[in-house]
Amino acid sequence: MTTTQKTLRDSAAIRWMALLLLALAMFCAYIFMDILSPIKDLMQTQRGWDSDAFGTMQGSETFLNVFVFFLIFAGIILDKMGVRFTALLSGGVMLLGAIIKWYAISDSFIGSGLETWFTNNLNHIPVFEQLNVSPFYEGMPASAKLAACGFMLFGCGAEMGGITVSRGIVKWFKGREMALAMGSEMALARLGVATCMIFSPFFAKLGGVVSVSRSVAFGVVLLCIAMIMLVVYFFMDKKLDAQTGEAEEKDDPFKISDLGQILTSSGFWLVSLLCVLYYSAIFPFQKYAVNMLQCNLSFTEVPADSFWASSSVTIIQYVIMLVVAVTAFMFNFLKNKSFKYGVLCLSIVSLVTYCYMGYMRQSAESIFAVFPLLAVGITPILGNYVDHKGKAASMLVLGSLLLIACHLTFAFILPEFKGNQVGGVIVAYVTILVLGASFSLVPASLWPSVPKLVDAKIIGSAYALIFWIQNIGLWLFPLLIGKVLTMTNKGVTNATELNYTAPLVMLAGLGVAALIIGLVLKVVDKKKGLHLEEPNIK
């Protein structure tokens, strides 16, 4: 009689613990990624960043990934060196870039010799300037230039971390609840967006004295915590390899010629195009969403001595947000019906309470912070469905339809409620929640489909190529939104009076293109038997 030795990943508790460590690291990364988004107006008044400077700096995050092909190298490093080495490397690179960005925005940079150097240099970048893709331009504030340098480095680490987490989840969950795991990881990571929207303005205005560098410092501290999470994961991953004898970085070694398998797959290219179109309509939007709400909703200033203007209300609202997220997620796994629906009621009541508090605070960043909350609740539903029933390509089509509807609502319907405080806030909340829900369709359906398209030993490179293509959009569209805003708002100097119609229509156009690609993918899947519509667990 033979017995099969159980490994760490055979234990549901241990493999979900590994997922939690990776997800918490990306949670911290997502917070830093958008740390300046809720305070775009403060960056203009405190550091002189107009829409062009803000958009160029935000787009710089992906510059090295796209134009120096760092992400391709990151994928090769991942396939040759393995998950744990690449995880630590990505954490270290993120932290270094974040520290540089913090210094650029700090008061210490003002008047320094480094400020003088950046003012006088990096104004003309040969070749990149001619191609109109330079991350710097003449007249760009020195602080924005150095912040862009740091953000480029952070972006290298963040995207390397993204592909490493995806590969790590495949390693721990293949043949199990992989779609649920990927969806859950992204749902938790996207709570970082909500955390950023609530706490970035909180730290910037703490004590009644505005300091934008405090917000960035908050993000740096969280990335230090992320590094600790990755160190703990390192030892878990090492023990798993010792148990299985896989030693992924040594057996069946990766070769450059293996990339040909990826590049000749039509399914891979369609998934990649879908990814770049979909993510380009979401992530760049996040960087401007708070300012868009400030421009399209009518806010009244809350008296400084009221409860709604106090720092304690921020903490209370964040706790309520966590209650919404936890109860919505728990609802999907409870067996006792009375307890299950009691938890659902608590989640709904908490969500309504959170939204009411956001309205009373008259805060655009607080309103946009609901973005991931519906996604947290439905991600387990979507993940379980894809794991057991399939239909991944169909879900991507549905996500594209919701994306189009949301951006067109922001462009044409929301401005009609300007002056109507209650009506405008309700439209904003509903649209933001639906947009977040549509976004949850991608990790639950797209990312688990990649292992069906390529060999196991080149999954890292496959994810890297997809992320590289995705990064082209993530570099281009923050910059484009900034330029379109400048072109369509000639003479507008008040950061809260901009017209966002043109950028939002542009983003809706990306949704239309994603819809077309999604329909083509369904046809190719049926014709070539890519198994994208089949379940992950058989």
Query: pTM of the prediction?
Result: 0.78
Query: In whole angstroms, what separates CA 14 from the centre of its chain?
Result: 26
pLDDT of residue 130: 66
Residues of the chain short of pLDDT 50, as ranges, are: 1-3, 248-252, 254
User: What pLDDT score was predicted for residue 221?
Assistant: 95
Q: 523 and 393 in contact (C-beta within 8 Å)?
A: no
Q: Rounded CA gap, 130 and 61, in Å?
A: 20
Nearest 5°: the CA angle 192, 63, 165 is 40
Specify the pLDDT at position 462. 76
If phi > 0 it is left, if psi is from -120 to 50 it is alpha, else beta; for residue 363 that is beta
User: How many whole angstroms separate alpha carbon 273 and alpha carbon 488?
Assistant: 29
pLDDT of residue 103: 95
Q: Is 131 helix (H, G, I), strand (E, B) or coil?
A: coil
Q: Which amino acid is it at 298?
A: S
- 432: its two tokens: 């933001």
Residue identified by tokens 């708070």 is 290
Give the residue among 213, 195, 26 at the shortest CA–CA distance from 101.
Answer: 213
> In whole angstroms, what is the distance from residue 530 CA to residue 510 CA?
25
Please name which of 530, 538, 391 lies closest in space to residue 451, comparing C-alpha atoms.
530
DSSP conformation letters of 388-406:
HT--HHHHHHHHHHHHHHH
Q: What is residue 256's predicted lDDT score, i.e. its pLDDT?
A: 57
Please check whether residue 160 is in contact with residue 29, taking contact to mean a CB–CB distance below 8 angstroms.
no
> Which secondary-structure segment (H or E) carries 43?
helix 40-47
